[in-house]
Amino acid sequence: MKEEFDVAIVGAGPAGVSAACILAEAGLKVIVLERGDFPGSKNMSGGVLYGHDLAQILPDYMERGCPVERNIIESRIWYLSREGGYSLGYRDDIFSDERKYNAFTVGRAKFDRWFAAQAQKKGALIVPSTVVTGLLRDGNSAVTGVVTDREDGDVKAKVTLLADGINSKLAASTGFRSEPAPDQVALAVKEVIEIPADLIEKRFNVSNGDGVTIEIIGQVTAGMDGIAVIYTNKRSLSLSIGANLQDFVHSRIKPYELIEDFKKHPMVAPLIAGGRALEYISHWLAEGGYHAIPRLYGDGYLIAGDSAMLFNSLHREGNNLAMASGRMAAQTIIEAFRRRDFSKNCLAQYGDKLSNSYVMNDLKKYRRFNGFLYWHKELFGTLPELASFAAREMLTVDGLPKKFKQRMIMKELRRRTSVWKLFKLVWQGWRSVK
Partner 1 sequence: MKIEDKLFLDRYRVSEESHLKIADPGICMKKCGEQPCLYFCPANVYRLEEGRISVHYEGCLECGSCRIACPLLNIDWTFPRGGFGICHKFG
List of residues contacting partner 1 (CB under 8 A): 35-37, 40-45, 107-112, 128-131, 148-150, 167, 169, 179-182, 185, 187, 189, 191-192, 233, 236, 245-246, 248-249, 252-256, 260, 277-284
Question: Quick one: which of 59, 48, 32, 170 has its CA closest to 113?
Answer: 32
Beta strands, E only, 208-337? 210-218, 226-232, 236-244, 276-286, 297-298, 301-303
* Nearest residue (CB) to partner 1, 187 versus 333: 187
* Nearest residue (CB) to partner 1, 256 versus 404: 256
Least distance from C-beta 3 to partner 1, angstroms? 18
* Nearest residue (CB) to partner 1, 89 versus 182: 182
Least distance from C-beta 416 to partner 1, angstroms? 28
Least distance from C-beta 69 to partner 1, angstroms? 10
* Nearest residue (CB) to partner 1, 21 versus 192: 192
In degrees and rounded to multiples of 5, residue 377 shows phi and psi of -65, -15
- Which residues fall within 8 angstroms of residue 374, CB to CB, at 6 or more apart? 183, 225, 244
In degrees and rounded to multiples of 5, residue 61 shows phi and psi of -60, -30
* Nearest residue (CB) to partner 1, 272 versus 387: 272
Angular region, 196: left φ>0, alpha ψ -120 to 50, beta rest:
beta
Least distance from C-beta 77 to partner 1, angstroms? 25
* Nearest residue (CB) to partner 1, 160 versus 246: 246
* Cβ–Cβ < 8 Å for 415, 386: no
Distance between CA atoms of residues 37 and 42, nearest Å: 8
In degrees and rounded to multiples of 5, residue 5 shows phi and psi of -110, 160
Least distance from C-beta 54 to partner 1, angstroms? 16
* Nearest residue (CB) to partner 1, 243 versus 354: 243
In degrees and rounded to multiples of 5, residue 418 shows phi and psi of -145, 160
Question: Quick one: which of 119, 114, 110, 149 has its CA closest to 9?
Answer: 119
- Which residues fall within 8 angstroms of residue 296, CB to CB, at 6 or more apart? 302, 303, 304, 308, 350, 351, 354
Least distance from C-beta 126 to partner 1, angstroms? 13
Least distance from C-beta 263 to partner 1, angstroms? 8
